[in-house]
Structure 1
Amino acid sequence: MEYQLYAIDPILRPFIKVICSVDNRSPIIVPNQLRVLPDTCVELFINLCPPQQIAIPDGNTPSLSRSFVTSRMNSFMDVSTQDNVSFVSVCFASGQAYQFFPVSMHDISNQVINLRDLWGARADDMQECVDKAATMQERISLVQQYLIQQLYKSVAFDASVDFCLRRMQETNGMLLLDELANQVGISNRQLARRFNQYIGLSPKEFARITTFTNSLVNLKKYPSFTLTEIAYESGYYDQAHFIRACRTYSGLTPSQLIGNEQVLFCF
């Protein structure tokens, strides 16, 4: 399986974390299932082959077109791999996807949505152009052009939400939300409403997921640490709280996560 990263256009860099392509034309003898953990990110997929099967948290497997969007807010998703995998992926930076999709992010949280339902005919136009492109680099350039056009059409930007996102990421979710609301001069209720509109989660839940994703980074960064040490390093009160968060957001214990090749977290 070939995995390739691509340069992000300077206009898009504040909003996009990763652009990549994945290509595999070899037969898969034993179907594989990957569990993708929540990371508060929205990801756009443009497939050149039939799309993968994705089970969303309610247990359903939606019928997907070749261009679709996943919103991994605070629930994991199970993906079944198959033969002839070939797609372009755009992973938006945490909390930045709302400027590309004209919907409340709360309405698509933890869902898999066909791009046509969000962009209308423009989604079909982009898919057609990508299919006709001769190389993967041309496809990446086309996708970025469409994203820039969509960004220029957007009227959604909230400086208070952007500030709060930065503060939560700087502190790994370990900060007082009352204090955060005061810093931007709005009430807790107003902050919650804006987060649900633009991010898809409440500020409290976003902070919890930020702490959880930091704990996963620490699991990789400090392989010699005990679970108690990882818990304290990540900001949890104790090991029990850390284990509970792992079960909630991954369906697994920390021990089951370590070295598990069928679990994917994109941080």
Structure 2
Amino acid sequence: MQYQTYPPSPHLAPLIKCFWSLEFAATPQPEKQTIIPDGCIELIIHYGDLYQQFQENGSSFIQPRSFVFGQLSNTLEIAPIGHTGIIAARFHPDGFIPLATIPLAGMENRAVPLTELFGEESDFLEKNILIASTQAERIQHIETFLLARLNKLEVLDCIVKSSIEILVSQAGQVKVEEMAEKLNINRRKLERKFSINVGLSPKQLSKIIRLQTALKQLNQNTELSLTELAYQSGYFDQSHFIKDFKAFTGISPKQFYADHLQLSALFIGTN
């Protein structure tokens, strides 16, 4: 399994955390993979075979070849149906809003086809990705496409960006009321801004950042006890940590390194 990250160009760095690619061969019996929320919207293009996405009611469907996945508020189950070849852009929590053509709330937990967002012109991007021979070429095609559709960066909300910086710097260990007071803004107004610009509430993003911090620590030191992990991640106690963990992942922390979390484990602690 080959997973790599790449920095965006300076023009897109305010919006994009990184580009990433993933490749691995088809297996006779592909397993479901559980993707854990990370607070980021992703633009994903499959230049390999497509993926099957599973729903809570037990049904499934094949994902589009090119799409933007909105904010995850719970886990996502997917499985490859052949050879995996993916190139993707991972946006900052508020990074997609200058490109959004529909409300972010309408993208939550959805793989929104690029054609729904950008029309038939996105077909040319998809074709260019499919015929490209290197990841550098694929990234260049995506950047050219995004820059041509980019509204002014002034659309980025400075209050939201400052809030995200606070959440990240404190690993999600800050109350929304405290953050609103620090930024001299009413809590409800801050929540409305997050809904528009991030697609999550400040509390949801805070919990996701804190969970990702815990997962990164667990990834770096598998010998940590759950009690140590809980306190280091800012939880009141072990039971509070386990409750939040299960709420997002559907499993206990001890099950984290099961095979069906192989993909999520790749993305922990990445740029």
What is the match of residue 115 of structure 1?
A: 114
Decide whether the 8 Å contact of 1:40 with 1:71 is kept in 2.
no
What is the match of residue 173 of structure 2?
A: 174
Amino acid at match of 2:202: P
- Give the 5 Å matches for 1:41-52: 41-52=40-51
What is the match of residue 206 of structure 1?
A: 205
- Decide which of 248, 253, 259 is 1:261's aligned counterpart: 259
> What percent identity do the matched residue pairs reach?
27
- Give the 5 Å matches for 1:242-253: 242-253=241-252
What is the match of residue 160 of structure 1?
A: 159
Shift of 1:78: 0.7
| Whole-Å separation in 1 of the counterparts to 2:223 and 2:60 | 38
- Give the 5 Å matches for 1:1-267: 1-24=1-24, 26-56=25-55, 60-152=59-151, 156-257=155-256, 259-263=257-261, 264-265=264-265, 266-267=267-268
Moved more, 5-14 or 54-63: 54-63
| Whole-Å separation in 1 of the counterparts to 2:82 and 2:36 | 23
| Whole-Å separation in 2 of the counterparts to 1:56 and 1:90 | 24
| Whole-Å separation in 1 of the counterparts to 2:133 and 2:220 | 40
Question: What TM-score does the superposition give when structure 1 sets the normalisation length?
Answer: 0.90
Decide whether the 8 Å contact of 1:56 with 1:110 is kept in 2.
no
Shift of 1:234: 0.3
| Whole-Å separation in 2 of the counterparts to 1:151 and 1:239 | 44
| Whole-Å separation in 2 of the counterparts to 1:193 and 1:250 | 26
Moved more, 7-16 or 139-148: 7-16
Question: What TM-score does the superposition give when structure 2 sets the normalisation length?
Answer: 0.89
Structure 1 gap ranges (5+): none
Amino acid at match of 2:220: K
Moved more, 11-20 or 230-239: 11-20
Shift of 1:63: 4.8
Amino acid at match of 1:12: L
Extract structure 1 runs of 4+ deviating beyond 6 A.
none
Instruction: State the SS of the aligned residue for 1:175.
Output: coil
Decide whether the 8 Å contact of 1:37 with 1:72 is kept in 2.
no
Shift of 1:72: 4.1
Structure 2 gap ranges (5+): none
| Whole-Å separation in 2 of the counterparts to 1:23 and 1:224 | 30
Shift of 1:171: 0.8
Distance 1:59-1:89 versus aligned 2 partners, 3 A rule: farther
Shift of 1:58: 6.2
Shift of 1:154: 6.3
Shift of 1:91: 1.4
Shift of 1:60: 5.0
Distance 1:3-1:172 versus aligned 2 partners, 3 A rule: closer
Distance 1:57-1:234 versus aligned 2 partners, 3 A rule: farther
Distance 1:113-1:216 versus aligned 2 partners, 3 A rule: same
